[in-house]
Structure 1
Amino acid sequence: MPVLTRDEAQTRAALLDVHHYRIALDLTGGETFGSTTAIRFTARTAGTTFVELKPAALHHVTLDGQVLDPAALDGNRLPLVLGAGEHELHVEADMRYSRTGEGMHRFTDPADGETYVYTQLFMDDVQRIFAAFDQPDLKAVFELAVTAPPHWTVLGNGIARPAGDGRWELAPTPPISTYLVAVAAGPWHSVRTEHAGLPFGIHCRRSLAAHLDADAEEILGITRRCYDRYHEKFTEPYPFDSYDQAFVPEFNAGAMENPGLVTFRDEFVFRSAVTDTERQTRAMVIAHEMAHMWFGDLVTLKWWDDIWLNESFAEYMGYQTLVETGDFPGTWTEFGVSRKGWGYDADQRPSTHPVAPAPDAVPDTASALTNFDGISYAKGASALRQLTAWLGEKEFLAGINDHFTRHRFGNATLADFLDSLARATDRDVHGWARSWLRTTGVDTLAPDVTEEDGHWRLAVRHDGSRPHRITVGLYDLDPADPERLVPRPPVEADLPGTPVLVLPGRRPDLLLLNDGDLTYAKVRLDPRSWDTALGALSGLPGALSRAVVWNAARDMVRDGELAPAAYLRAACAHLPREHDNAIVQGVLAFARTQIADLHLPADERPDALAGLRALGRDLLERATAPGVRLTAVRTLIASALRPDALRAWLAADTVPGGPVLDPELRWRILTRLAVLGALGPAEIDAELARDPSATGHEGAARCRAALPDQAAKEAAWEAMFATDDLSNYLFTATAQGFWQPEQLDLVRPFRARYYPAAVALAARRGAALAEAAGRHAFPLTLVEEETVRLGEECLRVADPAPALRRKLVDQLDDLRRALRIRG
């Protein structure tokens, strides 16, 4: 089916003014649901256009009372011939439920047999639910009625009220974009309250009720405090009539900012033990999505080239506002040591793009969808953090409030936002935007330090073109404790602009550029500073400072300037004395999944895993914080090469000294035992009987695909690529189990089969499964030239769908980097 182009959207926006949608959905059926739509709109002049729709069956269409031929539907477009003036379009159709997390996703909970449905309409999936002029700058009022089974509850953008016989009426919305319409229906377990005169609610599947209840006050407390903080920052009040948060099954993203009804993946309803960092991540997502009520919902992009106006702002505001509420004051540390690397990695691949691409660089919705990546989120948020440091927070907030006031319930562009900023400052924000938002790549900052009698000099080598305002941290080894660093007063610098700094006394033992992590750039340490860091990194005061050093080490490994084994040695030396779980978690994740599995040759991997096991045991012996202990146990499980200890833990149902084995840890152990060939199908079935939840079914699928057995691999392959029976989550779980570094000889014959199978799947099942096939089912463990050669051939001749093509480009670049590092 054709995708919408930017030119087509501009033409249609010039022709139409859309006023109101009245939509009726009947969710009482089986494989399909009924959809009736009435759209009132004005044609400014006579002309032709189209409305989008992807029906299972199109029954009846009228335009201004005149019947149109349903057979005129061409793919997803129904042509309309319009005279100037007012019009009303009526469309009656049956629509398909989805198992891919797109459109109207339908899920039956294996724990109790209850069924739930919810919408995910981002980009262009509203066409799977009802007929629409589907582009962000044709905002309208939406009024929905939903008929559902009698024991269901219906949630939507506005307050939902039961009208009898399973029918629910949702309050009309203010003007919003089509992709922001939301419905969630099913026998939800709900916790409701009121705040600032508005109804607030959180909702989940009934089988997760006890877990939601356990965290309800934490979730609602964070929600209230973020709401209050945003009202202190923003002059525009919250623009909708209620605030519901629904934790829904098999959700593709982390969350979606539907006005008044935010949907989250229901893994955020924790049914097993999690670390404080994982709780912080959930809180950040709550803050991020609430920021969207202003950035994206109240003021919406005009076209998808400006997605950063949604995501970069919500990302920055989510992290910053969570710090300001006091719930998690170390939030920026997690951003620095984990999230920011997502942006750095994306920005160094061939698929990189500016934070704000030129409009003609996003010619259609298919190309726009590929830009939801580490650049639009992490790099964009980093740029805004640097903008705030450069501009001043008062001026920044004045600019965004002007932006909200001028464009409330409308659409805006980068130019509109910069105009609002310019009214709040005398600084050259347009020049800043050209340097930061229209360029690609990562700048690198490195110190040049020289010492002379009585003073020392610092010059900063700047590889790149962006301006940076940075803090330079200066630290000395404590004479009484050589593993502890003592700070001197820091130095501020503007690049370019600050000349060579001449400072009195002897040079510091550790000089740290971008201390505080206020800019987006790779940082290098001079040799003496690096030697100091290797000996005293865990003694560096300030978790965010330590995160900057760990990020520098990470970048040096990826750039071939630091041996992967040296990074592992640093982790083994310093993580046992690290108290910030975000750093422990982030460093161990890079060490285990990137260094051990990708960057080290296969013959060096056992020694690396042995080192990680020793580190995990050291952490367990020293740590008292439950989060650090849990992170250590997960590392021990993932790094095991013998089944003995894992078997003992399973038998005892606990790790000595804790934690107790909850379902999440049990499935981790079983997956590792399956990889090692120490587990059979009968044990997987027994564990699934013990945990028949949706998560249990995913764990069982992962284990079965991980078995080192030809028949098991063939069965997993058949399930992924030969049928369309797997939901998005079960596909991902199966793919995660399939390719294992311990099983290279067994899985190598599947490599040549992967590329044609993935191309066919992407064409058949759509963008969400295409992305999953490229991310999770890709043979990344086969770090070999042949994997790259076959992938390049696929890109050249097979014409993969855009979502799959983008993932293949990224995965092949990561493989080339791994091959260079191994070399």
Structure 2
Amino acid sequence: MSVLTRDEAQTRAQLLDVQHYTVDLDLTTGDETFESTSLIRFTARTAGDTFVELKPETLHSALLDDAPLDITTLEGNRLPLRLGAGEHVLRITATMRYSRTGEGMHRFTDPSDGESYVYTQLFMEDVQRVFAAFDQPDLKAVFEVSVDAPEGWTVLANGITEQQPDGRWKAAPTPPLSTYFVCFAAGPWHSVRTEHAGLPFGIHCRRSLAAHLDADADEILTVTKACYDRFHEKFEEPYPFDSYDQAFVPEFNSGAMENPGLVTFRDEFVFRSAVTVTERQTRAMVIAHEMAHMWFGDLVTLRWWDDIWLNESFAEYMGYQTLNEACSDLFPDTWVDFGVTRKAWGYEADQRPSTHPVAPDPESVPDTASALLNFDGISYAKGASALRQLVTWLGEKDFLAGINIHFKRHRFGNATLADFIDNLAAATDRDVHAWAEQWLRTTGVDTLTPALTGEGLHWKLTVDRDGARPHRIAAGLYDRDPSGDLVLRERRELDVPQTEPAELTGPRPALVVLNDEDLTYAKLRFDAVSEESALRGLSRIPDPLTRAVIWNALRDMVRDGDLAPRDYLEIALAHLTEETELAVVQGVLGFARAQIADRYVTEEQRPAALATISEIARALLRHTEDGEAPGLRLTAVRAFIDSATTPDKIASWLDDGTVHGGPELDPELRWRILVRLAVLGATDEPTIAAELERDPSATGQEGAARCRASLPTPEAKAAAWSALFDTDDLSNYLFTATAQGFWQPEQSALVREYVPRFYPAAIALSDRRGAAMAEAAGRYAFPAYAIDQESLTLGEQHLDDDRMIPALHRKLVDQLDDLARALRAREA
């Protein structure tokens, strides 16, 4: 399939003015394909040649101004058009194929009840899998969609839908939208509907999840309404669409998608098992994130994909900040979770060979294939961190004034980074253009280290900066009180680079924490006295955000080889058992388990690492026996299961259906235990089949696939490998589950023969199944636990294979860099 280049898009945008699409879809023709007719009204500003895109199973007809086109000229995804100047009508009829990869029109049949559902995910260039279109973001148009759906189905779309007397569903015409925002979802949905601010609001899921959605409906709608109201306090432009629906859909590749008026979410956010308040907060943040897109992304859209960060960074920042403001009673401080987990994603991405500026040069995004690579921790977490630093430097009042200028000038249109910066500059006297060059056009992470000089009651604080960006930070100065707690003396605002050292009054602080409120994006180090105080008194610092900043610094030190992995685990053992902030516990345990125990320590050291994590979990379980902290207890139970090196204790939990002292085992915990038992060779196929009969849901199917691939036998590994790479039968989610089970640190010798087979198999799979499955293969099916120089060299040799599509190549570059880092960490 041809990718669209930036030059081609610019040429077509100069030629065409697209006004209106009428899209008719028939979903009643079977489980494999559907019928699609699109009628496009547009104007050619001059005579010229161009093309329309579609990826049909069968192209039946194409009429330009009622004259038939030669459909045999369709090459790849392009049907050529020769146009005279003036108005035109293009009508294309085709049979299209449903997807099982989460792209285009994804079809899913629920194993719980046999009901089927379809939904669209048309991002980047996947609208072509559903209907013909001039597929680029700056050719906005009005869309009218009608759908013929099976009896008993409901159709949701960007606008309010109504079923017509003939049974067809018709959606209200949209405002001007980019092609990738068109969305509909059809099936026998379970819906909860209400009104707010004069608009219909709805939340929807498949019927088998109805009870779980109903249980959380009040919370979901409370968050939605509160964020809606808060955005209207911030933004002068009112919400620009006629309704607000949120559909939780199966086998969704992303967290969510900001389709105007119909946001789609992965339906794991309809919690069918116990979750922590931090996981509920994550769902709420995603709701806020996608709602922010209604303005930044949907109302004002990027002109080309080099500015995707504008959409994602803005929504990421606004998601956390607005949730913090609107729902503080439910979620007291969202920035702690951002600092511990989300921000680490940005730091890691920014230190790989594949790093790029937050706002890349347009020439570095020459086509849609390269644009797809930039949906990473830089465009989301680093970009959001940069915006948070901008607000700190600029002031929220001026920042919002600039944003509102941006919305007013470009409503229902397209804008670029230059437009955004110009609009911010119109609201302030500060040099926003210089700030953007220093922050948005550069790569890498600065490192800040404090240095103190002086004696007695007179000290000076100097901030050493390894890097080139300006920072406005808060330096936290802490003293140790008689009880041993570290108490805040003051937070001193500093600009880095400094014009002169900061004068401190009083004795030397026991601890200096740079970036104490986590307002900038930089790695941190400590002076010797502060490092000793932090390592000794980390759990006795009162502010959870400060503790999060220090834990992040320790994580970076491990990754950079400045702190031995085993020492990190000992610090966690000393302090995590006293930690009360759930986001911190989850973030630290997650890093300890997935990175340190599985990758950063040697095979000989791994049992001791797992034993330390288990000891932390046991201590947390003892501390939570009174039932006062169910989220902390659930986190400890999960960590204990995942770190078990012998099967007896967790097998007894599975037999009893409960953990002693609680909680009772819900489906998520039962499958988690069974996976670990499979890894340890303490279960078998009949037991897995019995558990699947107990839980025949889609999640159960994934759990069974994960368990079967985890069994430590040659036969189980051969069957899993064949399912992954020899056929295309697995959906995106079943592929992921099987891949997650296949590679296990305990089974490195068993699967060693598959390491060299991975590269040709992944290349062939990517060529057959496309970018989404390439990303899944690179992320989940990569031999991440083959940590040795031979494996690294093998992978680097395959990077030169010109058959590898960009999505897979980028993922493997990152994986191999992480592998090299793991090797260095083992040497620390």
Give the TM interval when normalised to the shorter protein. Answer: over 0.9
Amino acid of the structure 1 residue aligned with 2:206:
R
CA–CA distance in structure 2, aligned partners of residues 6 and 89 of structure 1: 24
The aligned counterpart of 2:454 is 451
The aligned counterpart of 2:138 is 137
Give the conservation status (yes or no) of the 8 Å contact 1:451–1:506: no
1:550-581 superposed Cα distances (whole Å, 9 cap, x missing partner): 00000000000001111111111111111110
TM superposition outliers: structure 1 runs of 4+ over 3 Å: none
1:292-322 superposed Cα distances (whole Å, 9 cap, x missing partner): 0001000000000000110000000000000
The aligned counterpart of 2:26 is 26
From 670, 685, 688, the counterpart of 2:689: 685
The aligned counterpart of 2:666 is 662
Give the conservation status (yes or no) of the 8 Å contact 2:463–2:497: no
CA–CA distance in structure 2, aligned partners of residues 719 and 451 of structure 1: 67
1:531 aligns with 2:535: no
CA–CA distance in structure 1, aligned partners of residues 291 and 74 of structure 2: 38
Shift of 1:477: 1.1
The aligned counterpart of 1:371 is 374
CA–CA distance in structure 1, aligned partners of residues 615 and 674 of structure 2: 21
TM-score by length of 1: 0.99
The aligned counterpart of 1:408 is 411
Give the conservation status (yes or no) of the 8 Å contact 2:457–2:508: no
The aligned counterpart of 2:179 is 178
User: 1:203 aligns to what SS in structure 2?
Assistant: strand
CA–CA distance in structure 2, aligned partners of residues 452 and 507 of structure 1: 8
1:157-203 superposed Cα distances (whole Å, 9 cap, x missing partner): 00000013431000000000000000100000000000000000000
The aligned counterpart of 2:812 is 808
1:790 aligns with 2:794: yes
1:106-141 superposed Cα distances (whole Å, 9 cap, x missing partner): 000000000000000000000000000000000000
The aligned counterpart of 1:602 is 603
User: 2:28 aligns to what SS in structure 1?
Assistant: coil
Alignment of 1:49-448 (within 5 A): 49-325=50-326, 326=328, 327-448=330-451
Amino acid of the structure 1 residue aligned with 2:754:
F
The aligned counterpart of 2:541 is 540
CA–CA distance in structure 1, aligned partners of residues 204 and 166 of structure 2: 22
CA–CA distance in structure 2, aligned partners of residues 226 and 56 of structure 1: 42
CA–CA distance in structure 2, aligned partners of residues 553 and 569 of structure 1: 12
CA–CA distance in structure 2, aligned partners of residues 114 and 505 of structure 1: 70
User: 1:812 aligns to what SS in structure 2?
Assistant: helix
| Greater Cα offset, 363-372 or 525-534 | 525-534
Shift of 1:498: 3.9
CA–CA distance in structure 2, aligned partners of residues 165 and 822 of structure 1: 68
CA–CA distance in structure 2, aligned partners of residues 401 and 76 of structure 1: 39
Give the conservation status (yes or no) of the 8 Å contact 1:149–1:166: no
Amino acid of the structure 2 residue aligned with 1:718:
S
The aligned counterpart of 1:42 is 43
CA–CA distance in structure 2, aligned partners of residues 659 and 782 of structure 1: 36
Shift of 1:546: 0.5
CA–CA distance in structure 1, aligned partners of residues 535 and 552 of structure 2: 14
The aligned counterpart of 1:570 is 571
CA–CA distance in structure 1, aligned partners of residues 71 and 164 of structure 2: 32
Shift of 1:799: 3.1
Shift of 1:543: 0.8
Amino acid of the structure 2 residue aligned with 1:15:
L
Q: Which runs of no fewer than 5 residues in structure 1 stay unpaired?
A: none
CA–CA distance in structure 1, aligned partners of residues 198 and 477 of structure 2: 50
CA–CA distance in structure 2, aligned partners of residues 164 and 612 of structure 1: 62
CA–CA distance in structure 2, aligned partners of residues 622 and 70 of structure 1: 70
Amino acid of the structure 2 residue aligned with 1:496:
P
Q: Which runs of no fewer than 5 residues in structure 2 stay unpaired?
A: none
Amino acid of the structure 2 residue aligned with 1:374:
G
Give the conservation status (yes or no) of the 8 Å contact 2:486–2:537: yes
From 757, 760, 785, the counterpart of 2:761: 757
TM-score by length of 2: 0.99
Amino acid of the structure 2 residue aligned with 1:360:
E
1:774-823 superposed Cα distances (whole Å, 9 cap, x missing partner): 00000001111121111111111353111000000000000001101112
1:731 aligns with 2:735: yes
Amino acid of the structure 1 residue aligned with 2:283:
R
User: 1:62 aligns to what SS in structure 2?
Assistant: strand
Give the conservation status (yes or no) of the 8 Å contact 2:456–2:508: no
CA–CA distance in structure 2, aligned partners of residues 295 and 695 of structure 1: 34
Amino acid of the structure 2 residue aligned with 1:719:
A
1:613 aligns with 2:624: no
The aligned counterpart of 2:721 is 717
User: 2:360 aligns to what SS in structure 1?
Assistant: coil
Give the conservation status (yes or no) of the 8 Å contact 2:743–2:785: yes
Shift of 1:249: 0.1
Shift of 1:668: 0.2
CA–CA distance in structure 1, aligned partners of residues 209 and 555 of structure 2: 38
Amino acid of the structure 2 residue aligned with 1:74:
E
Shift of 1:452: 2.0
The aligned counterpart of 2:471 is 468
Amino acid of the structure 1 residue aligned with 2:477:
L
Give the conservation status (yes or no) of the 8 Å contact 2:601–2:826: yes
Shift of 1:535: 1.5
CA–CA distance in structure 2, aligned partners of residues 580 and 797 of structure 1: 47
CA–CA distance in structure 2, aligned partners of residues 29 and 791 of structure 1: 45
Give the conservation status (yes or no) of the 8 Å contact 1:759–1:798: no
CA–CA distance in structure 2, aligned partners of residues 241 and 395 of structure 1: 30
| Greater Cα offset, 642-651 or 789-798 | 789-798
Amino acid of the structure 2 residue aligned with 1:673:
L
CA–CA distance in structure 1, aligned partners of residues 296 and 517 of structure 2: 26
User: 1:33 aligns to what SS in structure 2?
Assistant: strand
CA–CA distance in structure 1, aligned partners of residues 170 and 180 of structure 2: 20
CA–CA distance in structure 2, aligned partners of residues 454 and 687 of structure 1: 67
Amino acid of the structure 1 residue aligned with 2:391:
T
CA–CA distance in structure 1, aligned partners of residues 16 and 320 of structure 2: 39
CA–CA distance in structure 2, aligned partners of residues 407 and 99 of structure 1: 37
Give the conservation status (yes or no) of the 8 Å contact 1:150–1:165: no
CA–CA distance in structure 1, aligned partners of residues 342 and 514 of structure 2: 19
1:431-473 superposed Cα distances (whole Å, 9 cap, x missing partner): 0000000000000000111232431121111011111000000
User: 1:112 aligns to what SS in structure 2?
Assistant: coil
Q: Over the residues paired in the alignment, what is the CA RMSD in angstroms?
A: 0.7
Give the conservation status (yes or no) of the 8 Å contact 2:641–2:676: yes
Give the conservation status (yes or no) of the 8 Å contact 1:788–1:816: yes
Amino acid of the structure 2 residue aligned with 1:368:
A
Amino acid of the structure 1 residue aligned with 2:380:
Y
